[in-house]
Amino acid sequence: MQITDYTQFLLILIGGLLVALVTTWAAIKIISNYAESLGLIDKPDHRKIHVKPIPRIGGLGIFAGLMASLLYFSLIRSLFPCCKEYLALPNNYFITGGIVIAVTGLVDDFKGISFRQKLVVQSLIAVYIILAGYRMEFDFGVLRGYTDLLSIPITFLWIIGVINAMNLIDGMDGLAGGTFLISLISLTICYFMLGLQLEVVLVYCMVGVILGFLILNWHPAKIFMGDTGSLFLGYVIACYSLKTTSVGPNAFTFMIPIMAVGLPVFDTLLSMTRRQLKGRPMFYPDKDHMHHRMGKTFGGGQRITVLRLYSINIVLGALAVILSVSGNLLGALILVLATVYVGFVVFRMRYLSWAKIRAVRKKPRHRGLLSTGGTFPYRF
């Protein structure tokens, strides 16, 4: 059997998307009936926004949807051998790492495990993926050997950082799933602009999976993805983004994944900085993430707040796309614009204010300010 034209090929891709969507939706609906008996219920507390218990088994549906759609594409490849070149499946290393991170999240959803235990597993997965050949690449035109060595620890930190960033951004209905989708599309456009081979199977599978999940997760949410889903999505987008650093028209190509996965990365760095300045542990849980602060500052319900946060990620994703086709001069300008935009968001969300900055400059610094209960002049 052979594919005769582009339309048939597109229909095959859409078929994979629909398989992912329907399987994800159906799996979540079925499993949610057993969520309470399994103990997979997210109960309200002082740090959470929802006011009633909601099943947190969406991650299982996400994983099931991806596996079903990959099985669909495997069947298509066997029926249409001519499509194998264009329907490349994710390699076994990627899938194995995904299974391990999903199981880790599932264990955490079932009985809870410490951050250190999760960090150990994430570290092992990061090492495994790096050994499999996944890594950020840097080419500044000088010190080539040193930049190659630098890519290993940076890739390690990137994988762990993005996995946890996606987990931290999962604080409002539809936020983590929609943010993942925006970043995935932004990175896919960057792939195309950079002339890299598109991983169309993974893209169509994940788009279908997220759409199937968002049907049930959009406010008011009937389901949460839990750590199973958030850790798995973080793993997928971390690995998918790495190849965008491999080639580019400027010296700033390495910034493409950072900007495309902008909102989760931005929120995590802001949270870590805020906690450090308050003298708290870096991963101390609080209720002052961007999704919390956005609602407090501008008002509106969860849907409006989530759409505003989407817009931030869209802007950063668009800047990443422009960066992927820019020369050195325009690339530098894009980085300046991104920095200014991030600073603007910080001020607009009232994490900082000019009055408080001036107060800091005038006040003498005291070594024991934070440890003795003194107040920090920033509004973190």
Q: What is the pLDDT of residues 263-287, one digit of tens each?
A: 999 988 888 877 777 776 666 666 7
Per-residue pLDDT, 268: 87
Counted residue by residue, the chain has a size of: 380
**Which tens digits make up the pLDDT trace of 219-254?**
898 999 999 999 999 999 999 999 887 777 888 888
Mean pLDDT score across all residues of the chain: 85
- Based on the structure, what is the number of domains in the chain? 1
Q: Is residue 90 part of a domain?
A: yes
Lowest mean pLDDT among 69-73, 279-283, 347-351, 365-369: 365-369
Q: Is the pLDDT of residue 6 over 50?
A: yes
Which range marks the domain in which residue 193 is found?
6-247
Q: What's the predicted TM-score (pTM) here?
A: 0.88
How far, in Å, CA of 115 to CA of 25, rounded? Answer: 30
* Lowest-confidence segment of 8-22, 38-52, 79-93 by average pLDDT: 38-52
- Kindly compute the dihedral angle of the four CA atoms of residues 159, 163, 164, 169, in this order, to the nearest 10 degrees: 130
3-state secondary structure of 54: strand
Residue 148 has pLDDT above 50, yes or no: yes
Q: Diameter of the chain by CA atoms? A: 78
Tell me what pLDDT residue 336 has: 95
Would residue 98 count as lying in a domain? Answer: yes
pLDDT score for 294: 82
- Is 368 a member of any domain? no
- Collapsed DSSP state (helix, strand, coil) of residue 14: helix
User: What amino acid occupies position 373?
Assistant: G
Q: What is the DSSP string of 76-115?
A: HHHH-GGGTTTSPPPPHHHHHHHHHHHHHHHHHHHH---H
Task: Report yes or no on 326 lying in a domain.
Answer: no
Is residue 180 included in any domain, yes or no? yes
Percent of the chain with pLDDT over 70: 84
54: phi then psi, degrees, rounded to nearest 5: -135, 135
- Residue 262 within any structural domain of the chain: no
The H or E element containing residue 55 is strand 54-55
Radius of gyration of the chain (CA): 22
Residue 259 has what pLDDT?
94
pLDDT above 90: residue 184: yes
Quickly list DSSP for 145-195: HHHHHHHHHHHHHHHHHHHHHHHHH--STTHHHHHHHHHHHHHHHHHHHHT
Residue 330, pLDDT score: 93
At residue 146, the 3 state secondary structure works out as: helix
Condensed to tens digits (0 to 9), the pLDDT of residues 75-113 reads: 999 988 888 888 999 999 999 999 999 999 999 998 889
Residue 380 domain flag: no
Decide if 82 is inside a domain.
yes
CA distances 155 to 73, 113, 246, Å, are 29, 25, 12
Residues sharing a CB contact under 8 Å with residue 162, sequence separation 6 or more, in sequence order: 234, 235, 237, 238, 241, 261, 264, 265
Please tell me the least confidently modeled range out of 46-55, 104-113, 260-269, 336-345.
Answer: 46-55
pLDDT of residue 46: 59
